[in-house]
Amino acid sequence: MAQKMEIIARQTSQKKIIYDYLMSVKIHPTAEAVYENVKKKLPQISQATVYRVLNNLKIKQKAITIMSAGVAHFDADMSPHTHFICEKCNDVFDVPDECSNCGILKNIKTKVGKINNYKIYFYGKCNKCEK
């Protein structure tokens, strides 16, 4: 019993550390990058655990993924915001104000149904790659 409690406590803290890490960064890390960072705090954690926790966060709608060059980047910022994907380094950036007019898309009735929400991705070369 005590052992089971211990396992649950450990899983909870693993989950919390992964979630806290994701909340604290703006870099939209890949699952692998999350694993590399979390490993510093939890040296015993397995890659499979990190992937499972990330997938659960996604299912519970506490995180989203943005695909860049076929790789999922994680974001725990659930507020509606637009992303910029660099076609050179494949990094994902937040673009906070660039799409203030896009709200007009909401409630528009299309041939297949009414729009409740939308996601917009900008593609280009980031400032770092442009240099």
- Residues of this chain that interact with Zn ion (CB under 5 A) are 75, 86, 88-89, 94, 126, 129
As measured in angstroms, the least distance from the Cβ of 130 to Zn ion is 8
Which distant-in-sequence residues (6+ apart) come within 8 Å of 18 by Cβ? 34, 38, 50, 53, 54, 57
Shortest separation between residue 79's beta carbon and Zn ion, angstroms: 9
Burial 96-115 (b: 16+ CB within 10 A, else e): eeeeeeeeeeeeeeeeeeee
The neighbouring-strand residues paired with 109 are 114
Nearer to Zn ion, 13 or 122 (CB): 122
The distance from CA 98 to its chain's CA centroid, rounded to whole angstroms, is: 20
Minimum distance, C-beta of residue 44 to Zn ion, in the bound complex (Å): 30
CB-nearer residue toward Zn ion: 47 or 91? 91
Query: Which of 80, 65, 70 lies closest to 29 in space, CA to CA?
Result: 65
State the minimum distance, in angstroms, from the CB of residue 80 to Zn ion: 10
Nearer residue to Zn ion within complex by CB, 109 or 131: 131
Nearer to Zn ion, 10 or 119 (CB): 119
